[in-house]
Structure 1
Amino acid sequence: MKFLCSAWPDQLEIQKVYLLNRDKTIINPYMGRDLRRKKNRKLQRTLDDYLEERGVNNELCVFLHEYMMNKDRIELIQWLGNVKSIVQK
């Protein structure tokens, strides 16, 4: 299975679930109910449990969110450095 998720500082949001062949190609995406709606809590909880058993949990979401915010800052600083070197030439 392949999961498309959003990592927020306080939770993981599963948006789509895909079934994969042995060669990692997508068979069919889950085309059922919207996984983000509150009335699908049983399915959401089952998928959350599946991911949590594999180490994908809220603690990882906090780390990923902080990492991505830092990554954006680092890339901006590098870009500004490149602009500075071009302007100085």
Structure 2
Amino acid sequence: MELLCLAWPDQLEIQKVYLLNRDKTIINSYMGRDLRRKKSRKLQRTLDDYLEERGVNNELCVFLHVYMMNKDRIELIQ
């Protein structure tokens, strides 16, 4: 399973869910409800819990944004 997410400065947003073969090729994308709609809150919460257990959370989003801002500065200086 692969999750396509957007990392905003204050939250993580799951955009799509893909099922993968063993060789990492996409079988098909999740064809159910739009994960960004209010009606799929239970599925969204389940996926959020799945990611949280693996350390992918809002704190990581904040870290990634700070890291990328510093990375851009360092690259500009070099």
Q: TM-score range by the shorter chain?
A: 0.7 to 0.9
Separation of aligned partners in 1, 2:10 and 2:42 = 20
Relative to its length, the structure with more helix (as a share) is: 1
**Residue 23 of structure 1 aligns to a residue in which SS?**
coil
Aligned residues: 78
Question: What's the Cα RMSD here?
Answer: 2.2
Whichever of the two has the greater Rg, that structure is 1
Following superposition, the deviation at residue 43 of structure 1 comes to 0.7
Task: Tell me by how many angstroms 1:73 deviates.
Answer: 2.4
TM (norm. structure 1) is 0.78
Taking the aligned partners of 1:31 and 1:22, their CA distance within structure 2 comes to: 20
TM-score normalized with structure 2 length:
0.87
Structure 2: which 5+ residue stretches go unaligned?
none
SS at match of 2:3: strand
Query: Aligned residues: percent identity?
Result: 91
Gaps spanning 5+ residues in structure 1: where? Answer: 78-88
Q: For 1:37 and 1:67, how far apart are their aligned partners in 2? A: 30
- In the TM superposition, residue 36 of structure 1 has moved relative to its aligned partner by 1.2
C-alpha distance in structure 2 between counterparts of 1:4 and 1:69, whole Å: 22
